[in-house]
Amino acid sequence: MDATTQRWIKDYAYYLRMERQMSPHTVASYRSEVRDFFEASGVTPTDAGPDAVMDYLAERSDKVSKRTQAHILSSLRSFFDWMILEGERKDNPCDPVEAPKLGRYLPAVLSEEEVTSILESVNLSDWAGLRDRAILEVLYGCGLRVSEAVGLRISDVYLDEGFVRIIGKGDKQRIVPLGEAAADAVRAYLAARIAPADTESEDILFLNRFGRSLSRVSMFNMIKAQALSAGIRKEISPHTFRHSFATHLIEHGADLRAVQEMLGHESILTTEIYTHVDSSTWQASVLEHHPRKG
């Protein structure tokens, strides 16, 4: 890969971060996919054509999932759109390339009874148990992403008012109601919370045993261990609680738009797929409100 291509990729990454306001993780992901394409294909950003893109995707198809292939294509399309914006190209070689067909990915859903079992299985005899119970209550009660839960700050939790302020993808803020059970769990944890290790950790809600921010991996491991302790054998993660939160809300009659706002989805289509509800629930709702019901 020549120096000019490297410079363009660097400038593209700067554009994503500063003008598109993408997170460092997203920028790194896009940059990596674009760099890998040019290193493998041997073409330059100005002479790359649809054939080069299709050949590269075909070569990767045996090694990565369709979802990853779609992400690669999206990254390349974004890069070449930027090249057009910069006046370096007049066309996007990804336009004729068809994205791989993706099936619906529906993560495991916990029943309300399973959620209760996990919550009640937590040992509340020490500060760590109180923290874990608060994490689970907030994940399920607010439908947070794991990154949002890990980064949650005490100053963004309004216990008396009953809501939390979340900084989500793209640094967008949203307000999510905080139920009584979750608020009580957070209060109990805060009363026993260990001292933060430094000033940077003072406002972080969920601390590890060293007094610093709990990692995503630690939160994943805690949830898996707690599910096993409750006798749940499903493959679950923090995302499972987010999905269950949305599903249970809709099953109980919550408006899809309200769920969309709480989850922080830009498109209602994402929420419709994500909140996959048993068809019998929809059928009952439709029949109940149908103008021609008997």
CB distance 232 to 121 below 8 Å: no
Q: Which of 17, 169, 216, 224 is catalytic?
A: 169
State the burial class of residue 261 (Cβ atoms within 10 Å of its Cβ: 0-12, 13-18, 19+). middle
What DSSP character marks residue 167? E
Q: Which of 35, 133, 242, 248 is catalytic?
A: 242
At residue 144's C-alpha, the angle toward residues 207 and 67, to 5°, is: 115
116, two tokens = 């209760």
Q: Angle 30-33-36 (CA atoms, 0-180°, nearest 5)?
A: 145
Provide the pLDDT confidence category of residue 227 given band limits of 50, 70 and 90: very high
Mean of the pLDDT values across residues 55-65? 81
Q: Please write the tens of the pLDDT for every residue from 250-271.
A: 778 777 777 777 777 766 666 6
Q: What is the mean pLDDT of residues 220-226?
A: 90
DSSP state of 240: H
- pLDDT at 272 (0 to 100): 63
What is the percent of the chain with per-residue pLDDT over 90, rounded to a whole number? 46
Contact (CB, 8 A) for 250 and 275: yes
- Give the chain's mean pLDDT: 85
Is 276 among the catalytic positions? no
- Report whether pLDDT(153) > 80: yes
- Of the listed 145, 193, 243, 248, which one is catalytic? 145
User: Phi, psi (5° rounding) for residue 27?
Assistant: -60, -45
79 with 35: CB under 8 angstroms? no
Structural domains for the chain: 3-85 (1.10.150.130), 112-286 (1.10.443.10)
Q: Which of these ranges, 145-154, 195-204, 270-279, has the smallest mean pLDDT?
A: 270-279
Coil vs helix vs strand at 235 = coil
Residues 76/53, Cβ–Cβ less than 8 Å: yes
Closest CA to 146 of 240, 239, 284: 239
- Apex 67 CA angle, 62 and 72, nearest 5: 80
Catalytic residue among 56, 140, 189, 274: 274
Is the CB of residue 61 less than 8 Å from the CB of residue 72? no
- Catalytic: 239? yes
How far, in Å, CA of 107 to CA of 20, rounded?
30
Q: Is 169 a catalytic residue?
A: yes
Place of tokens 């009660």: 141
Instruction: Provide the pLDDT for residue 170.
Output: 65
Spatial CA neighbour of 281 closest among 235, 236, 248, 246: 248
Integer angstrom CA distances of residue 292 from 168, 199, 280, 282: 43, 64, 19, 17
Query: Is residue 165 classed as helix, strand or coil in its secondary structure?
Result: strand
Residue 143 per-residue DSSP state: T
What is the signed CA dihedral for 69, 43, 3, 7, rounded to 10 degrees? -50
pLDDT band at 169 (very low <50, low <70, confident <90, very high): low
Q: CB-hemisphere CA count at 13 Å for 292?
A: 0
Annotation says 265 is catalytic: yes
